[in-house]
Amino acid sequence: MRRRPDLAHPSRAAVRPLGPPSPRQPGQQGDALDAFLTSGGETRFQLQDPGPPLFDPRSEGVQLITSLYVPAGRVGFVKEIRVAPFMPTELTDPWTTTGTTGASWRNLLGDGTEAPGGTNGVWTTPFGWESYFNPPDFAPEWRWFLRVLRGDIDKNRKVPFTLADPATWYLAENVAVPASVYPAGIPGTQATGYWRPQRMQMIQGDKLNTHVLVGPDSTLCLWARWSQGIYQPNASTQTSEGIVTAPYGAALYPLLPSFGQLHGYIQAADRVASTENAEYGWGG
């Protein structure tokens, strides 16, 4: 009579081969969920002004922050979103106590370049940048978008991004580019549901819990777009004659590029479980 292997004894147990599992077709995936986490962003504007070619996204810009490709035969569900613009150091930390009258601020780079502060270097007040403008200028605008592109976005990128080649500016990930790169607007179709352009940011300490379905052979893209003018910071000082307000530092753009993160899972598209998740899976 044949005896079954004694699994309690290592020398007699069936040994599984080491290394990654063999590739499986969607129908062989079962109900397994494969988590994904993708993030991106840029802390400083890249400039080439004057050109050619001219590259200055500060006043009117678009940024593909991060993206996720869902392969054919699979379906994706986005469960959490974080996205927000960075804030220049001068606005993050307007002044430090120096023991003398006046104001000073920390410039991380030492060359006057706008950069986010090391702590609290993001806009935390909901659309707080809209308060930073000098009338009669218009208030800055910033929006984030979810868009879906057919196919794998990486296959549309022939060469890496470079300032010297405008052909590499389209669909460049992380990099803030001039809005003129997208004359027809943000590419792609609206994500499932009712995803209008969003005015309010979701900072890294928070998250937007959601349930966004991404179909097979599609790339989900997280975008930001902004429009702004130069702002002159001002400081108020208490004197013997009252409160005196005066400009400090150089004029700057109140919005820097943005960062973002998408978190969720992918599973086989032809399973009952994926259909149930699409219908009832808001919390799971």
Supply the pTM of this predicted model. Answer: 0.83
What pLDDT is attached to residue 5? 47
SS (H, E, C) the chain: CCCCCCCCCCCCCCCCCCCCCCCCCHHHCCCCCEEEEEEEECCCCCCECCCCCCECCCCEEEEEEEEEEECCCEEEEEEEEEEEEECEHHHHCCCCCCCCCCCCCCCCCCCCCCCECCCCCECCCCCHHHHCCCCCCCCCEEEEEEEEEECCHHHHCCCCCCCCCHHHCCCCECCEEEHHHCCCCCCCEECCCCCCCECCCECCCCCEEEEEEECCCEEEEEEEEEECCCECCEEEEEECCEEEEEECCCCECCCCCEEEEEEEEEEECCCHHHHHHHHHHHHC
Domain spans in the chain, listed from the N-terminal domain onward: 30-98+120-283
For 130-185, how does the pLDDT look when each residue is reduced to its tens digit (9 = 90+)? 999 988 889 999 999 999 999 999 988 878 999 999 999 999 999 999 999 999 99
User: pLDDT value at position 10?
Assistant: 44
